[in-house]
A and B are shown apart, each in its own frame.
Chain A
Amino acid sequence: MTTDTLENTEHHEEHHAQPSGIKRWLYTTNHKDIGTLYLWFSFIMLLVGGGLAMIIRAELFQPGLQIVEPDFFNQLTTTHGLIMVFGAIMPAFTGFANWMIPMMIGAPDMALPRMNNWSFWILPFAFSILIGSFFMESGAPNFGWTFYAPLSTTYSNGSTAFFVFAVHIMGISSIMGAINVIVTIMNMRAPGMTYMKMPLFVWTFFITAYLLIAVMPVLAGVVTMVLTDTYFGTSFFNAAGGGDPVMFQHIFWFFGHPEVYIMILPAFGIVSTIIPAFARKKLFGYSSMVYATASIALLSFIVWAHHMFTTGMPLFGELFFMYCTMLIAVPTGVKVFNWVATMWRGSMSFEIPMLFSIAFVILFTIGGFSGLMLALTPVDFQYHDTYFVVAHFHYVLVTGSLFSIFAGTYYWLPKWTGHMYNQTLAQWHFWCSIISVNLLFFPMHFLGLAGMPRRIPDYALQFADFNKWVSIGGFAFGLSQLLFLAVVIKCIRSGEKAADKPWDGAEGLEWTVASPAPYHTFSTPPAIKDE
């Protein structure tokens, strides 16, 4: 697919008087501004959630309770999880969607710009409530980010109402964001851009948006049931009133498992954009990538109970969920094979986005392997709720999702800021991150296999050595992210001027506009030619 660069569309800006200062950001309906807001918000949340993780690692540095009380420790693990999932990873991807989807499909903006503004601006309120609960008498939520009833209902510390309200707002924001993505993609593609010509990045966000619309209402339902169980005397999850605490887990994980893919499918899209660019070779198996993404999304609805093998499911249920979960390895494998085949006999170079993408392929696959191990019910009885699980989901979410976010940021920073990033600093960021993140998460596999349960503030002495290493890795990884902040700020302020298309192998409409991207792009749709 080739494209014509149309007249520069900058002259449109003159027609609108731009509010300046804070009002520009409060009132903006521009997809690029909103994308920027999402990305900065998610970075701040990454630092907050990371700060909480540092306190956790400081407490776990050696046996004994030195720094925090067990109850506060539970508040830390709970809010760390909630902030990283709903505050860091998901908004970062929405930021990418906002910035890139219109530019990739040749649309002037998102289809519903005012809703776009609203869906971002309610997020800070949600997280103010959540983080603010630390300073209230009840303390922050302390029942784990999975908020299993009845720990979050009858036995909660009084933070349940704030937690539920915050999650409702996050859910509304996600649903609106997802609607916007779907409407934009379905209606605003440039003429000639058929579905199977869309960049894979757009495809993965399209499918993710459907997942969000399908499961966020389920989350809203389950938190509402928790709310009424806690404060209004219902008994959804209370056996004494005819309810069932395990039903909570079924409903929660029916949301929770697709949620996992909501956080990884966009990462697939980003990596599938970057690898071909630096291998200078077309993505191998484009259509099989689309089908694999769709099948992963469909399978995600029928595997939820693999999080609950120890709850006392009947044998038939365990078998069903084990087989379905194992099946996910097939489309996921197809994706990894396709990336490797894209690199095969390419002409590779190793700029920072490519380094993060290659790290993604290797480390995400390691997370996939431990996922396959966890899928097998009999062994899951041993792994379940141990550090093995913690290692598994941090490999897919940190070296998976987060690394793809880094890769994407480095890849499009020249387009966003008009400057190239500082090579040396970025190299430092990559190498510090990759070493420390493995020191942080790899030994967790050993801890889990040796029998260390997750979510404990203190541990038996045989776990002491690895925990020390894990904590050192944690501090190093956390500090490395300040390098990332330095790179981005430097890049915004100064740096070598970026060409319109700074990567010689890059493809796509976003590289046909100027760098930095003008405030309004594609006011007249570009023409998409067949090859």
Chain B
Amino acid sequence: MRGRNRIWLLLVSLFSNAAWSDSQLNLTKGVTAISNEVYDLHMLVLYICTAIGVIVFGVMFWSIIFHRKSKGAKPADFHESTKIEILWTAIPVVILIAMAIPATSTLIAMEDNSDSDITIQVTGSQWKWHYKYFDQDIEFYSVLSTPREQYENHNGEPATRSEHYLIEVDKPLVIPVNKKVRFLLTSDDVIHSWWVPAFAVKQDANPGFINEAWAKVDKPGIYRGQCAELCGKDHGFMPVVVEVKSEEDYQQWLKEQQQLIADAANAEQASLSASMSKEELMQLGESTYLAHCAACHQPTGLGIPPAFPALKGSPIATTGSIEEHIDIVFNGKAGTGMQGYGKQLSLKEIAAVVTFERNAWGNDTGDLVQSADVKAASGE
């Protein structure tokens, strides 16, 4: 009885409007002049293909229905006709030219990166985006903000998932409306691809090279996309979120950011002379570790060898010197997936994470690391 109810429920849920209201069938029209042109082009080709399909398949089904042996059809004898063959070579060429003309003009407009109002450098790394505003001294990382419990479901489904599950970040990119914003894209490690469907912008971020793209957005709002190029393990977990603000709101936001940066610098300075207790370090260390390190080294510290080595029992986090340990966390390790976190974390957080790694999972070194130690060992 219960089983039957369930099947019934499943069927009802599949066909109810509620289940399908979220499902989008067609390309997004987007919020830029370019994305609208792209949408129109998409619809044009779709209609042309549909029309051709209807004609060709129509003729075929006519034969299938009326020219069957079971209906006594006798085969005709023709098997070539130069006239008709020239015709069905020439007509497609004309149709193709009709498609190529609007495609060419849209493409030329898309590739015109000149006269931008604002320039932002977008850097991909495994698996987060970094945004740097030219002439503003503002830069920050943008990381997936969906909690791990929501997507790691090996032990059962979560009670709820957030509305923007897997397409939400801690700090979105913020740009002003009606300004031509130029993006310079590059990568710190493998190839990523920065994609916002609503802007019709998808551009690869290649390590060691810089690509250009631009968008001039008509409407304030929050627009979401994802990394589009396979970039390793967590390729599915590096969303792009762009918040488009009105000019005043944008200026306000810039001011807030500058204030935040100044505050952070002060806190950094203050932390140098402060000394934290083991409990404080372990607590901050654990939260920092889970946010920034656990994707590769795993919450258990066991890693995914050989690409992502274990920290539990690792010489670096036990018998090795604290300085070397800090150096790897701060500067990364060349030729591997280990990034440098000197730019991403505060001195305090690095001190806490190193302390945590040296004292968690049975790595009982008892070592305590303070901000000042990090400053000294980082060589800066």
Q: Given contacts A318-B111, A349-B69, A350-B64, list 20 more A-B pairs with CB under 8 A.
A: A71-B307, A74-B233, A137-B306, A155-B337, A310-B202, A315-B107, A322-B104, A326-B99, A344-B59, A349-B70, A372-B45, A381-B200, A381-B202, A382-B38, A382-B197, A384-B202, A451-B225, A453-B235, A465-B20, A466-B23
0 or 1 for each of A334-357: is its CB under 8 Å from B? (1 = yes): 101100111111111110000000
Does B226 lie at the interface of the complex (its beta carbon under 8 Å from any beta carbon of A)? yes
Interface residues of A in 109-155 (CB under 8 A from B): 137-138, 142-144, 148, 150-151, 154-155
Contact (Cβ within 8 A) B207 A245: yes
Which of chain A's residues has its CB closest to B43's CB? A379
The stretch of A62-70, A91-99, A174-182, A480-488 in contact with B is A62-70
In the complex, chain A residues whose CB is within 8 Å of the CB of B70: 349
* 1/0 contact string of A397-427 vs chain B (CB within 8 Å): 0000000000000000000000000000000
Partner among B23, B189, B228, B229 whose Cβ is within 8 Å of the Cβ of A155: B189
Interface size class of A (residues with CB under 8 A): 35 or more
Contact B232 A450 (CB under 8 A): no
Complex partner residue of A378 from B38, B167, B237, CB under 8 angstroms:
B38
Residues of B within 8 A of A385 (CB): 193, 195, 202, 228-229
Q: Beta-carbon contacts of B303-318 to A below 8 Å, as 1s and 0s?
A: 0111100000000000
Instruction: State the 9 A-B residue pairs at the shortest beta-carbon distance, nearest first.
Output: A239-B208, A456-B236, A312-B211, A450-B24, A64-B153, A369-B49, A345-B76, A282-B79, A385-B228
A459 to B167, CA, bound (A): 9
- Choose one: A239, A240, A373, A386; the contact of B45 (CB below 8 Å): A373
B346 interface contact, C-beta 8 A: no
A343 touches B191 (CB 8 A): no
Is A330 part of the binding interface, using a Cβ–Cβ cutoff of 8 Å? Answer: yes
Q: B64: which A residues are within 8 A, CB to CB?
A: 343, 348, 350, 358
CA distance A378 to B100 in the complex (A): 11
Q: Which of A165-173, A187-195, A284-292, A430-438 contacts B (4 or more CB under 8 A)?
A: A284-292
**Most chain-B CB neighbours within 10 Å: which of A245, A284, A310?**
A310
Contacts of B100 in A (CB 8 A): 322-323, 326
Which of A282, A336, A343, A456 is the one whose CB lies under 8 Å from B235? Answer: A456
* Least distance between A207 CB and chain B CB atoms (Å): 19
Known: A66-B153, A330-B89, A334-B89. A459 touches B27 (CB 8 A): no
User: A524 CA to B166 CA in the complex, in Å?
Assistant: 68
Return chain A residues, CB-CB under 8 Å to B228. 310, 384-386, 453
Of the candidates A64, A70, A366, the one whose C-beta lies within 8 Å of that of B233 is A70
Q: How large is the interface on B (under 10, 10 to 19, 20 to 34, 35 or more residues)?
A: 35 or more
Stretch from B134-142, B157-165, B353-361 at the A interface = B157-165
Whether B68 is near chain A, meaning CB under 8 Å from some CB there, is yes
B67 and A344 contact, CB distance less than 8 A:
yes
Q: Does A311 contact B (CB under 8 A)?
A: yes
B11-43 Cβ-contact flags toward A at 8 Å (1 or 0): 000100001101111111000001001100110
Residue B343 is within 8 A (CB to CB) of chain A in the complex: no
Evaluate contact between B92 and A333: CB separation under 8 angstroms. Answer: yes
Cβ of A446 within 8 Å of any chain B Cβ, yes or no, is yes
Q: Which of B62-117 contact A (CB under 8 A)?
A: 63-64, 67-70, 73-80, 84-85, 88-89, 92-93, 96, 99-100, 103-104, 106-108, 110-111
* Cross-chain contact B235 with A346 (CB below 8 angstroms): no
Contact bitstring A302-341, B, C-beta under 8 A = 1, else 0: 0000000011100100110011001101100110110011
Q: Are A348 and B110 in contact (CB under 8 A)?
A: no
Q: Pick the residue among B75, B107, B202 that contacts A346 (CB under 8 A).
A: B75
Q: Is A514 an interface residue (CB 8 A)?
A: no
- For the complex, what is the distance from the CA of A456 to the CA of B232, rounded to whole Å? 10
Q: Would A318 and B107 count as touching, CB distance under 8 A? A: yes
Q: Does A196 contact B (CB under 8 A)?
A: no
**Which of B56, B163, B230 is the one whose CB lies under 8 Å from A365?**
B56
The yes or no answer to A104 lying at the interface (CB within 8 A) is no
A237 to B240, CA, bound (A): 27
- Answer yes or no: A244 CB below 8 A from chain B CBs: yes
CB of A262 within 8 A of chain B? no
State the Cβ distance, B319 to closest chain A Cβ, in Å: 24
Q: Does B57 lie within 8 Å of A362, measured CB to CB?
A: yes
Whether B270 sits at the interface, judged by CB under 8 Å, is no
Bound Cα distance A381, B73 (Å): 49
Q: Closest A residue to B91 by CB, please name it.
A: A333
Whether B204 contacts A457 by the Cβ 8 Å rule is: no
- Spell out B's residues near A (CB within 8 Å): 14, 19-20, 22-28, 34, 37-38, 41-42, 45-46, 49, 52-53, 56-57, 59-60, 63-64, 67-70, 73-80, 84-85, 88-89, 92-93, 96, 99-100, 103-104, 106-108, 110-111, 126, 150-154, 157-158, 161, 163-167, 189-191, 193, 195, 197, 200-204, 206-209, 211-212, 224-237, 304-307, 335-337
Q: Are B204 and A330 in contact (CB under 8 A)?
A: no
Using Cβ atoms and an 8 Å threshold, which residues of chain A touch B306? 137-138, 157-158
Is A461 among interface residues, defined by CB-CB distance under 8 A? yes
State whether B63 touches A366 (Cβ < 8 A).
no
Complexed CA–CA distance, A264 and B34 (Å): 35
A377: B residues at CB distance < 8 A:
103, 107
Bound: A144/B229 CA distance, A: 10
Say whether A361 faces chain B, with CB atoms less than 8 Å apart.
yes
Residues in chain A near residue B189, CB distance under 8 A: 150, 154-155
Rounded to whole angstroms, the CA-CA distance of A449 and B46 in the bound complex is 12
Tell me, in angstroms, the Cα distance from A451 to B195 when the chains sit together.
9
Chain B contacts of A500 at CB under 8 A? none
Contact with B along A61-93 (1 / 0, CB 8 A): 001111001110010000000000000000000
CB distance from B108 to the nearest CB of A (A): 7
In the complex, what distance in Å separates the CA atom of A172 from the CA atom of B195? 39
Shortest distance between the CB of B259 and any CB in chain A (Å): 33
Residues from chain A with a CB closer than 8 A to the CB of B235 are: 70, 74, 453, 455-456
Q: Which residues of B contact A64 (CB under 8 A)?
A: 150-153, 157-158, 161
Distance A158 CA – B309 CA, assembled complex (angstroms): 13
On whether the beta carbons of B206 and A311 are closer than 8 Å, the reply is: yes
B26 contacts A344, C-beta separation under 8 Å: no
